[in-house]
Amino acid sequence: MSAKNTGVHNVMEGFVFTRIDEIYNSIQKEKKSGSEKYKNFCCCAQCRIDAACYVLNRTKPHYIASGRGVIRTFHDSFERQQIMTDISISAYKAIEMISRNNRRPECNHELCEGEAENAKEVFFYDVPAVVGRVLNGSSFTPMFDVKIELLSAGNLVKMRNENWQNPCDLVKDMEGTYTFWPEAEETEKPGEEKNFNYTIKIEAPGYETVNYNFSISSKSVTNSYRGFSITEAYKINDIYLFHV
Ligand SMILES: [Zn+2]
């Protein structure tokens, strides 16, 4: 089998782009309020990408295979905290450097910044990741060789990105733990609430099929590229499988 670049992902990308956007958005806000402090800072899309590349080139990549290892990656919250702090420091450095002397000369920054400001604001229902465990009903041990689907009105729910697979196949080293991260849904206004109704369908040969229904309420927020956060994930009670 080939290990071509399918389903391998550097989880740092999400963190870095989120942080860079957060910092640029706050700079942009301050500039709009008339502050002189960031007068020479450009917040256009090209400068944001350049800043993100600067940080990513100086950050140790952390690769995971699709749908695997996400839990383990964020298991050590101290390590995660440290990584986030390093990214923030590096991001401030990158933004300052790019704004002061590394703007791309060939790009019309005034124009792209103007466009960015006039761009229609987009809002999303930013549904959190869903996390749960599947255990054997008689031995209470984690299950594997299990197929899990996240369904909405009978259809497979589209995932946020290639890190998440739906259906998800539980293998032995996943210790019975599955995660799904539904795609964010675009909407018109901020602060609107919507209930998302889901079914988790679990199938394993020799076991009774389980359909577990739940709903997540989400409030629409303004567009942002958020990193995956296990602490913000929606946790589902353990599900037990019983022999047919
Ligand atoms: Zn720029």
Domain total in the chain: 2
Whole-structure pTM value = 0.58
The domain of 109 spans 8-118
Structure confidence at residue 1 (pLDDT) = 44
Q: What is the pLDDT of residue 229?
A: 60
Phi-psi region of 30 (alpha: psi -120 to 50; beta: other; left: phi over 0): alpha
Residue 9 CA to ligand 1 centre (angstroms): 27
For residues 153 and 52, state if they share a domain.
no
Q: What is the distance in A from the centroid of ligand 1 to the CA of 7?
A: 32
User: How much distance in Å is there from the Cα of 159 to the middle of ligand 1?
Assistant: 32
> How many angstroms does the Cα of residue 43 sit away from the middle of ligand 1?
6
Domain-located, residue 1: no
pLDDT at 225: 47
User: What is the distance in A from the centroid of ligand 1 to the CA of 46?
Assistant: 5
Residue 74 shares a structural domain with residue 99: yes
pLDDT, residue 121, reads 65
Mark which of 118, 138, 165 sits at the end of a domain. 118
Give yes or no: residues 94 and 192 share one domain.
no
If asked whether residues 111 and 133 sit together in one domain, one would say no
CA of 18 to the centre of ligand 1 (A): 18
Ligand 1 centroid from CA 111, angstroms: 9
Going from the C-alpha of 170 to that of each of 72, 106, 156, 159, 236, the distances in angstroms are 15, 49, 17, 17, 16
Residue 204 Cα, ligand 1 centroid: separation in angstroms? 53
Q: Which residue in 214, 224, 217, 161 sits closest to 192, CA to CA? A: 217
Please tell me the distance between residue 101's alpha carbon and the centre of ligand 1 in angstroms: 11
Q: For residue 113, what pLDDT is reported?
A: 53
Same domain, 77 and 180: no
Kindly state whether residues 172 and 200 are assigned to the same domain: yes
| Residue where a domain stops, chosen among 68, 98, 118 | 118
| Final residue of a structural domain among 118, 134, 159 | 118
User: Per-residue pLDDT for the chain (244 aa), expressed as one digit of tens each?
Assistant: 444 555 677 778 888 988 898 898 888 888 888 888 887 788 888 888 889 999 998 888 887 765 555 555 555 567 777 888 888 999 999 998 888 776 666 666 665 554 455 455 678 888 888 989 999 999 999 999 999 999 999 999 998 876 678 999 888 877 888 889 898 888 888 888 999 999 999 999 999 999 999 999 998 887 654 555 656 788 899 999 999 9
Question: How many angstroms is it from 177 CA to the middle of ligand 1?
Answer: 43
Separation of CA 85 and ligand 1 centre (Å): 25
Q: Determine the distance separating the centroid of ligand 1 and the alpha carbon of 57, expressed in angstroms.
A: 19
The answer to whether the bond into 61 is cis (omega within 30° of 0) is no
**Domain of 218: which CATH number?**
2.60.40.10
Q: Based on the domain organization, do 235 and 216 belong to the same domain?
A: yes
Distance of CA 162 to the CA centre of its chain: 10
